[in-house]
């Protein structure tokens, strides 16, 4: 009897310790992958550049929310901040991801202080240090004068509902895949932001802190709605985009670090497809190469998690139609990487193979183009 009691006590103690360990593990996981949320900073910058006239921030698919924005903010269209934002767009090309890069480099309102020192490349090169600092100062004043906090308070129920509706997408994401695939642990957190004022836009910026830790973001637009006009986030539509945006924060630094190795092939390929790439707002060979590797990595994720291959084939066809005619070969080359992790522990260690792959594609494509022109 005594032994039985001791056995039960030991079992209960073991279960208690296991539960505490799991809770600790969950907390550790959440520190790297916080729950999705609507962020006042990204909403604020979306509103500012909507008022400034940026077409990519003037999607009106979320009609009730857009109506609320204009009802509250239209009287501030001539405010100094809005005028300056329009000037930054027209003179420096501040648009799309450059806008959201600014947002995530600021503290939460109402302070909106800088999270890290600004430079010629921080928060993003299109801003420039002087202009970025001027914008941040004007933004603080605008937040107060335009009673932005009052607007956000009125939208709290809407934001909470969007966060709840996005959870199935978050639950479907295999966050550990990134560590396994890229061979590195995140130096910080991977954050999902639900952008209600973005329309269909999606972005993947990050903040690098002085100690080297990072805050990586997948900023997800809102493009689908139910019969009542409320946002919905279908897993089959939103999950590939979420995978895509997180990939950017791993891929972009790698291609930037090894830019010289990719430049020759990158410029040749871009010359062949720049018209189609330009229509997608991929206006440089560097952006094209980032998109290329990101999209191929999304397909590798889909192949890993959907063995039937239907989703991966659909994505491959879509990417081919977007001008990435080398996508099938790139996906297959990355398949070799996945099989040879003993030799290539990280994607960065495999980059020389990818450089040679692109050189081969560029050489072959250049020859084909010359043959076509000679006919």
pLDDT tens readout for residues 152-165: 999 999 999 999 99
pTM summary value? 0.82
Task: Judge residue 245's burial from the number of C-beta atoms within 10 Å of its C-beta, 0-12 exposed, 13-18 middle, 19 or more buried.
Answer: buried
pLDDT at res. 11: 39
Task: Check residue 229 and report its DSSP letter.
Answer: S
Asked, as a colleague might, if the bond just before 110 is cis with ω within 30 of 0, I would say yes
Q: How far apart are CA 230 and CA 219, in angstroms?
A: 19
pLDDT at res. 2: 45
pLDDT at res. 141: 98
Segments of the chain scoring below 50 in pLDDT: 2-27, 371-375
Sign of CA dihedral 121, 125, 131, 136: negative
Q: What is the three-class DSSP state of 156?
A: helix
pLDDT at res. 370: 62
Measured CA to CA in angstroms, residue 34 lies from 52, 62, 128 at distances of 32, 26, 30
25-64 pLDDT, tens digit per residue, is 444 555 677 899 999 999 999 999 999 999 999 999 999 9
pLDDT at res. 22: 35
Question: Own/partner pairs for 61-70, CB < 8 Å, 24+ apart?
Answer: 61/199, 61/200, 61/222, 61/223, 61/225, 62/196, 62/197, 62/199, 62/222, 62/225, 62/231, 63/229, 64/229, 65/155, 65/158, 65/196, 65/197, 66/197, 68/151, 68/154, 68/155, 69/151, 69/197
Q: How far apart are CA 199 and CA 191, in angstroms?
A: 19
Locate the domains of the chain by residue range. 34-233, 258-375
CB 21 within 8 A of CB 61: no
């Amino acid at each position: 009897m005594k032994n039985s009691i001791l056995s039960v006590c030991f079992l209960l103690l073991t279960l208690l310790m296991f539960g505490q360990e799991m809770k600790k593990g969950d907390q550790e996981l959440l520190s790297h992958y916080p729950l999705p949320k609507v962020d006042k900073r990204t909403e604020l910058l979306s509103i500012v550049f909507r008022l400034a006239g940026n077409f990519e921030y003037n999607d009106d698919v979320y009609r009730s929310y857009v109506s609320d924005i204009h009802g509250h903010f239209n009287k501030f269209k001539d405010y100094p901040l809005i005028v300056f934002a329009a000037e930054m767009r027209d003179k420096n090309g501040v648009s799309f991801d450059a806008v959201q890069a600014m947002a995530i480099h600021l503290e939460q309102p109402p302070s909106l202080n800088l999270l890290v020192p600004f430079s010629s490349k921080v928060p993003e090169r299109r801003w420039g240090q002087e202009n970025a600092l001027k914008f941040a100062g004007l933004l603080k004043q605008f937040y107060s004068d335009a009673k932005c906090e009052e607007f956000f308070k009125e939208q709290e129920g809407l934001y909470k509902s969007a966060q709840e509706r996005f959870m199935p997408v978050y639950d479907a994401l295999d966050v550990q895949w990134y560590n396994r695939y890229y061979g590195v642990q995140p130096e910080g957190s991977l954050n999902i932001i639900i952008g209600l004022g973005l329309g269909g836009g999606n972005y993947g910026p990050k903040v690098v802190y002085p100690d080297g830790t990072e805050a990586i973001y997948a900023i997800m637009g809102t493009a689908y709605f139910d019969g009542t006009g409320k946002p919905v986030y279908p897993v089959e539509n939103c999950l590939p985009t979420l995978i895509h945006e997180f990939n950017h924060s791993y891929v972009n630094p790698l291609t930037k670090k090894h830019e010289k190795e990719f430049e020759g092939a990158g410029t040749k390929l871009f010359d062949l497809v720049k018209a189609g790439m330009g229509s997608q707002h991929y206006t440089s060979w560097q952006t094209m190469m980032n998109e290329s590797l990101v999209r191929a990595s999304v397909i590798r994720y889909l192949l890993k998690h959907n063995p039937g291959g239907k989703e991966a084939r659909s994505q491959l066809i879509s990417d081919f139609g977007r001008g990435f005619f080398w996508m099938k070969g790139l996906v297959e080359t990355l398949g070799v990487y996945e099989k040879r992790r003993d030799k290539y522990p990280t994607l960065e260690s495999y980059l020389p193979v990818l450089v040679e792959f692109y050189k081969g594609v560029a050489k072959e494509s250049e020859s084909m183009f010359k043959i076509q022109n000679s006919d």
